[in-house]
């Protein structure tokens, strides 16, 4: 009987905890994140899908803030279904997946001009950074080389003399790599990226290039009302599109 009572109290405590977890996605006035050493920095994202009907959005919490952290063991231990129940979310997208993988930034510096709350997700601390429609997110996850859109107030700087990695699509758009991942190739490193093109299964009309910049390159969706165009290759590396609007000054 004593064990039953203790067990009941424990379960009630878990349920109470689940009911108390409430996220407040969105920008915090005046909160800016600047990462001056972004290149090859390992990070992760937790994206609960919140809201109902047309208000439903995937809310991305990113571990690149100054006090954020994403230990591999803590990320790997999170049960996405249980976390969704705690947060009252439709579901939770874990990036990277599998959660034992790593995702790394490729730009030299990044700014998040409208950062939000920082949340400790069972040992993974991350800051609200962006929102995305569930349809766009699911489309990218289901299929490689499928363009998507995400809403965020960011700026990426790729410095003169740096190497950048570019996809060119048949419609003439250039897609600049923003992050690489070890989801598909566990041995992928930044040093191996110049040869990535020979290992990608590029669709007809797509090309991969490794380019050394002769001038600074900035990708700034604030110049396009906070809308960024993104695409994922078959190694699950992510690129941001240039040529859609004024957000990107990249020229071949």
Look at residue 8 and tell me if it is in a domain: no
Look at residue 131 and tell me if it is in a domain: yes
Segment 222-247 shows an average pLDDT of 96
Model confidence band, residue 136 (pLDDT cutoffs 50, 70, 90): confident
Assigned token pair, 174: 């250039």
Look at residue 181 and tell me if it is in a domain: yes
Look at residue 252 and tell me if it is in a domain: no
Segment 129-154 shows an average pLDDT of 90
Helix %, strand %, coil % of the chain (to 5): 25, 35, 40
Task: Answer for the pair 41, 102: CB distance below 8 angstroms, yes or no.
Answer: no
Assigned token pair, 136: 């766009």
Whether 128 shows a pLDDT value over 80: the answer reads yes
Look at residue 236 and tell me if it is in a domain: yes
Look at residue 249 and tell me if it is in a domain: no
**Residue 10 carries which DSSP code?**
H
Average pLDDT, the chain: 91
Assigned token pair, 249: 């000054």
Higher pLDDT, 250 or 99: 99
Q: Which of 127, 118, 123 is nearest to 73 (CA)?
A: 123
Whether 183 shows a pLDDT value over 90: the answer reads yes
Q: For the purposes of burial, counting CB atoms within 10 Å of the CB of 22, is it exposed (0-12), middle (13-18) or buried (19 or more)? A: exposed
The count of structural domains within the chain is 1
Look at residue 251 and tell me if it is in a domain: no
Look at residue 95 and tell me if it is in a domain: yes
State the maximum Cα–Cα separation within the chain, in Å, rounded to a whole number. Answer: 74
Range of the domain at 180: 21-242
């Amino acid at each position: 009987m004593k064990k039953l009572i203790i067990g009941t109290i424990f379960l009630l405590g878990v349920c109470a905890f689940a009911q108390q977890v409430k996220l407040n996605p969105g920008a915090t006035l005046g909160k800016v994140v600047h990462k001056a050493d972004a290149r090859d920095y390992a990070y992760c994202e937790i994206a609960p899908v919140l809201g109902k009907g047309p208000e439903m959005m995937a809310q991305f919490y990113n571990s690149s803030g100054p006090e954020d952290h994403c230990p591999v063991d803590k990320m790997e231990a999170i049960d996405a279904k249980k976390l969704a129940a705690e947060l009252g979310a439709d579901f939770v997208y874990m990036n990277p997946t599998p959660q034992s993988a790593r995702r790394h930034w490729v730009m030299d510096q990044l700014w998040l001009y409208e950062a939000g709350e920082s949340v400790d997700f069972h040992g993974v601390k991350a800051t609200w950074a962006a929102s995305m429609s569930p349809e766009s997110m699911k489309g990218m996850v289901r299929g490689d080389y499928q363009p998507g859109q995400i809403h965020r107030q960011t700026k990426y700087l790729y410095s003169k003399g740096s190497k950048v990695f570019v996809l060119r699509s048949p419609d003439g758009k250039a897609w600049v790599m923003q992050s690489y991942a070890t989801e598909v190739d566990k041995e992928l490193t930044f040093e191996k990226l110049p040869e990535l093109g020979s290992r990608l299964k590029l669709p007809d009309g797509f090309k991969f290039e490794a380019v050394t910049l002769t001038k600074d390159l900035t990708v700034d969706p604030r110049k396009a009302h906070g809308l960024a165009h993104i695409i994922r290759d078959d190694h699950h590396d992510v690129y941001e599109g240039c040529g859609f609007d004024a957000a990107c000054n990249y020229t071949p």
